[in-house]
């Protein structure tokens, strides 16, 4: 009888573990706020917990190459997931665009940034924050936009560079830089810029920031990873993504 009870308890525990599992997800820094909401909604709906790590896409790529235990990557670009797929580090056929990001010039100060970005041509600031263009797609988009505007050479000496857009945002929020280029999602709420002053950079000034997700090789045999990928394309997730100012 005791043996039967022990077997029954083992089966119950095994089922419980199968029904509720944690998933390691690497998430581009710009998507942090939206992902926290999506992660909570995913756990509420499925019982599975997404363990989230936020950082630069370039850093995540290096970590995944070195064996980091991530099972899904939400990148800030489309090239990195494709590269991982070609290198055998991501599951072919699982890559998709989950959001299209938008670049914004933002200042914590009300009225400092005008609606046309003309502040960039002024001498009213000593420092301007950007994300590292070698690691962060929003940084690369910044360089591209400034090049189109003919302002790159003039502004480069004023750059304060963050590893990712979260750090770049902090430089501006703490006023270590008067203004900076960040993701619109970081300062967008209820259909408008939530605080400070901003210029949403016209999309024709930089290549579209298509942000792709992919199931990584370490998540190949994990059904929760595939379930999370499906959830990321659900109406629930889509509403959250659009609420943070992303397109698509």
Going from the N-terminus, what domains does the chain have, and what CATH number goes with each?
Answer: 2-100+208-243 (3.40.190.10), 103-200 (3.40.190.10)
Confidence check: pLDDT of 192 > 90 = no
Rounded Cα distance, 101 and 137, in Å: 10
Give the pLDDT of residue 21.
64
Q: How far is CA 197 from CA 90, 116, 141, 158, in A?
A: 40, 11, 20, 20
pLDDT category at 22 given cuts 50, 70, 90 is confident
Question: For residue 223, which of 12, 17, 13 has the smallest C-alpha distance?
Answer: 17
| Residue 117: its H or E element | none
Q: What's the pTM?
A: 0.82
Question: What mean pLDDT value characterizes the chain?
Answer: 91
Mean per-residue pLDDT, 63-68: 97
Mean per-residue pLDDT, 43-47: 96
Lowest mean pLDDT among 21-35, 60-74, 220-234: 21-35
Task: Give the pairing type, strands 22-28 and 49-55.
Answer: parallel
Percentage of residues of the chain with pLDDT beyond 70: 91
Q: How many CB atoms lie within 10 A of CB 11?
A: 10
Helices 235-243 and 32-46: crossing angle in degrees, nearest 10, is 160
Q: What is the pLDDT of residues 101-128, one digit of tens each?
A: 999 999 999 999 999 999 999 999 999 9
Confidence check: pLDDT of 19 > 80 = no
3-class DSSP state of 173:
helix
Give the pLDDT of residue 193.
87
pLDDT category at 248 given cuts 50, 70, 90 is low
Confidence check: pLDDT of 14 > 50 = no
Phi, psi (rounded to 5 degrees) for 2: -60, -40
Confidence check: pLDDT of 239 > 90 = yes
Confidence check: pLDDT of 7 > 50 = no
Mean per-residue pLDDT, 162-183: 96
3-class DSSP state of 187:
coil
């Amino acid at each position: 009888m005791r043996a039967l009870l022990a077997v029954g308890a083992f089966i119950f525990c095994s089922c419980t573990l199968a029904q509720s599992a944690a998933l390691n997800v690497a998430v581009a820094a710009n998507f942090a706020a939206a992902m926290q909401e999506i992660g909570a909604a995913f756990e509420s709906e499925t019982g599975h917990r997404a363990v989230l790590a936020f950082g630069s896409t370039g850093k995540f790529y290096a970590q995944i190459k070195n064996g980091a235990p991530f099972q899904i990557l939400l990148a800030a670009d489309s090239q990195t997931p494709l590269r991982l797929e070609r290198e055998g580090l991501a599951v072919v056929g699982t890559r998709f665009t989950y959001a299209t990001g938008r670049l914004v010039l933002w200042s914590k100060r009300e009225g400092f940034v005008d609606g046309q970005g003309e502040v960039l041509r002024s001498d009213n600031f000593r420092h301007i924050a950007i994300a590292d263009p070698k690691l962060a797609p929003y940084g690369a988009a910044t360089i591209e936009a400034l090049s189109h505007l003919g302002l790159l050479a003039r502004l480069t000496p004023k750059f304060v560079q963050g590893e990712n857009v979260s750090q770049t945002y902090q430089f501006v929020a703490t006023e270590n830089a008067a203004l900076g280029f960040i993701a619109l999602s970081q300062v967008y709420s209820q259909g408008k810029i939530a605080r400070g002053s901003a210029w949403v950079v016209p999309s024709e000034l930089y290549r579209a920031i298509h942000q792709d997700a992919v199931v990584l090789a370490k998540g190949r045999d994990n059904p929760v990873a595939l379930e999370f990928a499906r959830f990321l394309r659900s109406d629930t997730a889509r509403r959250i993504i659009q609420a943070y100012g992303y397109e698509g």
